[in-house]
Structure 1
Amino acid sequence: MPPQTQTQRRRRTGNNDNTNEARRRRQSRHKHESDDSEASEEDQDGDVDMEKAGDGTDDQLVRKLVRYALACEYARISIKRDGIRDKVLGSNTRSFKRVFEGAQAQLQQVFGMEMVELPVKEKRTLKEKQRANARKAASQSTASSRQYILVSTLPPGYKSQSIIAPSRIPSTSEEAAYVGFYTMVISLIVLNGGELSDTKLRRYLTRLNASQNLPMDKTDNVLQKIVRQGYVDKVVEKSDGDEDAVTWCIGSRGRVEVPPESIAAVITEVWGELPDDFHTKLQRSLGIQELQQGLDESAIPEE
């Protein structure tokens, strides 16, 4: 090919490249101008739009927290504050208080429940108490469990068994038996001064024929379950040479779900014919300041 022809072809190619580059620059400039125009239009009433966007995000987070709380309660798992941040808030950690209050309002208005913080787990063994005292001396902040559970906010008149029935999963009879079992264990521990040895608990369970009357599982497995769910605590004191000392105490969930009033209602129900000084003795045993003789079944723990 002659050199002149090659030169002309290179010139045409160069001109085409310059034309395409100029076209791209014009399109990019028009796009930026269009974006700037849209941004300026949004800025004219930006306050309203930002509030709407914020409300929409908060509403979604509130609904997400409500679902998370209900799912945790269904499995009898505590609602942990770290879990709320990781599984609900994500990058919106600064919205915790606002979202939490919104979820509380939804739970109260729609479901008749609210999230209540669990008490801090008590230190039982000597080593645990020493560590707790050391941390308390190093930090002046108030101790917090950072865990919650759902409790009913319904009026007493709506807490009857006909309204709040046992769950149908796995079955109504198994759920009722499970609630009755951990309520009875908690009552026995409370009436024994807040602590109960393993030997004494086994003796009580034998008298109750727990191995035959529990339809869901073996007694040891059910005891492990109520420990795992926080109804009771199993404290094991290690000893050199001898057998480990096992003591049963009330767990953080048990203290919230089964208060002294509920224990009094259960004892009154199963006692039968009540002696004259029954309520006085029961009041003294449970540490209740005022115990009405006409305890209704609304005080019985929710099923």
Structure 2
Amino acid sequence: MANHAPGVDFRTRLQEWIPKLVLSPSLAAMLVFVYGFIAFTFYLSFTNSKMLPSYDWLGFENYAKLWNLSAWWVAVTNLAIFATLYITICTAIGLTLAILLDQKIRGEGVLRPIYLYPMALSFIVTGTAWKWIMDPGIGIENSMHLWGWTSFQFNWIKDRDMAIYTVVIAAVWQTSGFVMAMFLAGLRSIDNEILKAAQIDGASNFSLYRRIVIPLLRPAFLSAFVILAHLAVKSYDLIIALTGGGPGRATELPATFMYSYTFTRNSMGIGAASAVIMLMTIAAIMTPYLYAELKEKS
């Protein structure tokens, strides 16, 4: 037995090291192309970078300039409107659809893929499709006029005051089915014995959901909020495909602002500063969520 010990030890070490060797190229690439470029963006936000990276240190001057720009405040205001409506409406629709499907209705196997299908599309496709739908010349308004309802108007996409709400409509359409799937999974994981005991005690369906089901869905609510908030903060492709940030700056968000100032206005330092603020916003959303998850597991 002692003669085979070195061979056994070598095989054991090899089994331990093979996964590490296989994963090391991916880990190295992630460290360079994700965290390395994040660190580089942080550095650029403190420099006098214009069209190309510069290494003239400015400190927090770019951040001061950024918060004095009216365009940045427009983007932040639009984000507040978009994120609030997007998260609220998606959560409400997703929860409602999940509760309806949880009643074991007929055709559930058909309805679930229909609700989830929009999430399979890219935001570019969604933005393009809804741009056609909302265009007064070829979309809903034109169709209503052809049907004889000539007084009907739906030109939100051309209206500065209403354009941001067209982005909300398209985003909600794409993501509500995904939120529904999260809530449906949460509903199906609730112990039926708890619900049966409450029904025996005389609880109505409304009380059952308000006092038992909804509170037990807290992890699903938290997960939905984190995912939707993350999607709202980094929204770029949907805006570009649907409105292009217009009319004017009516639908500009921090992501489109960052791209504009970095690549078209030759203000890489200010663009990097806006990117850092977006990253900090997402981190502020993710950190409490991860802390709660790790604390619950421990």
TM-score after normalising by structure 1: 0.21
Higher strand share: 1
TM-score after normalising by structure 2: 0.22
Higher gyration radius (CA): 1
Higher helix share: 2
Q: Higher relative contact order at CA 8 Å, sep ≥6: structure 1 or structure 2?
A: 2
